[in-house]
Structure 1
Amino acid sequence: MLRVKILLIAIIFLLNYPFNQVNAQKLANLPPKIINEQLDSDSDSLTNSWETNHQLNPYSALGDDGAAGDPDYDGLTNANEQIYATNPRNPDSDADGMNDGWEVRYGLNPTSALGDHGATGDADRDGLTNQEELFSNTHPTNPDTDGDGLRDGWEVDHQFSPINPAGYHGGAGDVDTDNLNNLQEHTAATNPRHPDSDGDGLPDGLEIEHGSNPLDCELDADADGLENQPELALATNPFNPDSDGDGLPDGWEVAQQLNPLSVAGIHGANGDGDADSLSHLQEYLHQTNPHQADSDGDGLLDGWEVQHHLNPLSSLANDGANADPDGDSLNNLAEQGFATNPRSADSDNDQLPDAWELQQQLDPLLAGGEVGTNGDPDADALTNLAEYRNSTRPLLADSDDDGLNDGWEVRYTLDPLDGFGVNGANGDPDGDGMNNLIELQRQTHPLQATYLVMLPLAQRFY
């Protein structure tokens, strides 16, 4: 009885003893017919030939030799290794750096090292290679392993955990405090670790808020002459060239020491800090200095030059103080002083040139009354226009001081500017014995003889 028990124990021991080289040798010496007939001698779902080929004991269903065994510790049981045609003695059957169990678990082919199934493949197009997915503990066929809306590769590239959707690692995180959360940074392709991805001085969130491109480096986003960083410092709007809406660009106002956030007084469009008759808006449009009445230093006020279509930034040619663009013998400086028009020789359009009116002490800016075209301030019966045409003096009735008033002389075609000879008081152009002065006094015609009146006097000469 004891011998029977010992025999049974020996048989059980042999069945459970690891398949050694001796057993393998014996198995190899068996006729092929016998082996093929016994496809799964130990009923562990592993064929004898497969077990034999991979140095497993076809007569043992226990431990590493059984269907549930995993002698290469790759996460695949022998049963699965047989199904996927992998090597149960090699954790990486295709030698691509990824163990068979991991590849099978995530739907990759453990027997192919090519394309999407290899180490450099990226089956889920998340920016991580399969090998990187393995090291990152991410899913190689799911681009967003933790389901936070961020691609695994993007998270790894920006030093976030691709398997943690919480806190600053998740879609709602904002590590760089630029008012864009990680999901928004991911969508905009901005840098979640840098508040100003394009380095233009504006936080990414602010650019997105105003419809600007946070990846396009525009140092002066609104092209107002003031760069973005100073705009933020001054509290002006970097996306609006005129923050206070007064028509003056922020950059120009700052450059001219005006307040870009105020429309009042001298800081607004209608201000005139230098009292040159140009508003700030006009100064901006003409690029003159709002703090200097004469920007080009030629003695002519900017406002006066602009009013008369001269260049307030040039002191050369017709724009300078000594120029005379209207050819009236008054230079620009004089025209400014008399408030006449440097572009018109007759500022008041009364047919009397400015220079003549000024010379004759008439007002070159008034065309009516005694100083106008039809005025006769010296009461010599010559209008100012007639005085001008005859070169007589409008404020002196007898220009040549010969006792004959200008109007009478002109009326009778005598020269009002010549006090001698036939044109003078003693002249007698009609030879009637009465000189011009007597003709004037008697209201007779100096060019038509009046002998009846002079007969008594004439008899004295006979």
Structure 2
Amino acid sequence: MFLLISGLSFASQTRPSAQVGSINPDDTSGQGPPITDQDKDGIPDLHEELFSSVRNISYMGGIRQIQGLDSTNGSDNVSDFDRDGLDALMEYCWPYSMDTCFDERRTLTGKPPDLTDSGLREFLDPRVADTDGDGLPDGFEVYMCMNEGVGFVNESFAWTCSVFDPLDPSDGFLDSDRCDDYSLGCGDGFDINSDGIIESQEAYTNAEEYSYGAPSSWVTEIDGLRCFGTMGNLVETACSDIDRGIKNLNSGWLGTDPLRNDSDDHYFSGGQLLSQNRRGDGIVDGWEVYFNLQPLNSSDGIIDTDQDGWDANRDGQTTPDTSLGTVEIGEAFSNIQEYQVHYDGGYGVRSGLKSVEHGALEQTVRIFDQGSTPSLLHHDVVEIVPITERGQLVLGTRYGVSIMSVSGQSVDHFELPSGAQMTDMIFWDHPEDEHLIISSNIGIHTLRLDAAGLVDSGSLKSSIIGPIQSIHRLNLGGSLMSVLAGGEIGQAWITSIDVQGGIGETEQVEELESLLASMNGSSILSAAHATVTGSPQVLYVGTTHGLIAWNTTDLQGGSPPYWIFDNVTAEQYVRPANPFNSSRSAIVNVLEIDGPRGPDGLMTSEQILWVGTEGGLHHFDLIQGSTSPETSFSRDRMENSELDQDGGNDIRSIWIGEGEVVVGSAAGTWILEGDYSKAFGVDSEHTMIPGAIQSIGLLEIDNITHLYASIEPGRFSNIVPIDPLSADSDEDGMPDGWEYAYDLDP
């Protein structure tokens, strides 16, 4: 409960005034000033009177009384009747510390009316352990504010708390765990349904972290603070425990750490509990708590709780894991390995095709995969091609093509040959027909679409040249479709497709391969062949190690290609991606040409290149870029600061719309208002599709525009959550450890 009181009620804290009869010091009469602190305990009488009544609380089926203050008792200023770790004088002084309350304080104590929802001054109640009712005792919040880097002393010498304010009722419901950059709010909840959003019921809140391990009957006023030893800034008798039985760990909180997403502070060895120098076991607290593991004991990370390991060498026993560093050596499928399946290298959001009504908030996100209705061939959708006039989505998936009639909710499939896995797809609409150009792990393929927009099952043509990672249109003119194909590290080919889908001779692009080889390990991620009026054509190639430009029409002869920036110089041109690894800034995932458009929506001239890197979205001026690349990049008002910590500026895909750019990032979709000429910032009127976005498309259905986005899978699909308490999480009859060992999906 709060105690609310207007500023006028505290007039007794200021020097009293009365009618003056004479100013002659020798002509005095009457009594001295009224007594404001008659027991001389530092707490004004009025304050003690406000908190003087006894408070009754229910406990273990009975009623217990919490004593109030007494304005005639000079010793109750050191009392802690509510056992919250703060004595009565500390509670009166807050937000001032005992060091500044009487010497430096410039205003009244308590929270000023202009900072409270009630509009009245609010104080800590010495009879109530949790004054603001947020599930966090006052002493815990004061300690966290003053000792854990979330508070500071302001110009009035009062403490200001960004979180853990004992007079802010919202703190307990937050999930404040620090992010990698030490900012607050990244949390440690468990995304149970893998939808990419931690809903309120999935968060592991500050109050839950404080209370971890407490009996349901725990009442702070009776049982005390959930800490052990002696905690600084709190009364010596505050803690409910003296010792946790952990060697060399003499004080601390009994719950998990609400500012650290991986709280483990001890391990079990040789029959003893030993403190560990570095906190954590590699498993976030919320996941451990959900599955009833031990978020404070790192030893359970290498335990195989559900015993679903696999005896690979058939010696009759499953070799246990012996340390966090050797979990891949043992045959057990330990808890940390199961967590790593859930985390999936950062790709833990359930993959598949997802859709939402475009341009509206709080819309339901729908998901399609091999188990949905309609279904897809596979949940890994590498490319989305909307066909507006037919109301279709042409979807390139890992195992083939799914063509979805959105209005009729039907789908037709075409499977690639056994062993082929799609990596990229281009839709080619030419005067004579429509074709799909596909790259795969074995080469390049083409498919013809019939008049109904379905795959002609007898039209498959293939060129088996080895693994191709990506394919990109080239603007060479004529009736052929020429494509640049990027292979494994350092490989580049050019080939052409005729109007019957025939695949021409595939030739290596030696000039490009030579430049890629200059950056060891570089490979092609994106490309755009730009034609600026009055200037030679320029091929821009985005790679894992920077951005290449090549003044070429046909990728043969002429001036050699060159690096605009590489993994050393990238941050001189584009937004930094990772403060700990500057080379990540050089990764160029997306290149899309843009410019003014006519009434039919077609581009009338090519003027800018959208450049999506791991660090952000940029404009590149095509007109001046060939001569002055260092001054041709702009990113003004193109950053998504809200999603930055989650990867919102790691750009994976874009869709250029009318007056907007739909951005697919590592965190999900977002909308940039603007066009080729100017950006106006993030449009907040949008329902985000969470996850690492591979491809984006917009399609209008019954006059409503829908946004479609495919979520990039990691190694695992995350259709159901991995369960460290179940030997067969997906209930397919195969133990999780066996599936993991043989590179299947548990």
- TM-score tier by shorter-chain length is 0.3 to 0.5
- Normalising by structure 1, we get a TM-score of 0.37
Larger Rg: 1
Answer 1 or 2: which has greater helix percent: 1
Answer 1 or 2: which has greater strand percent: 2
- Normalising by structure 2, we get a TM-score of 0.24
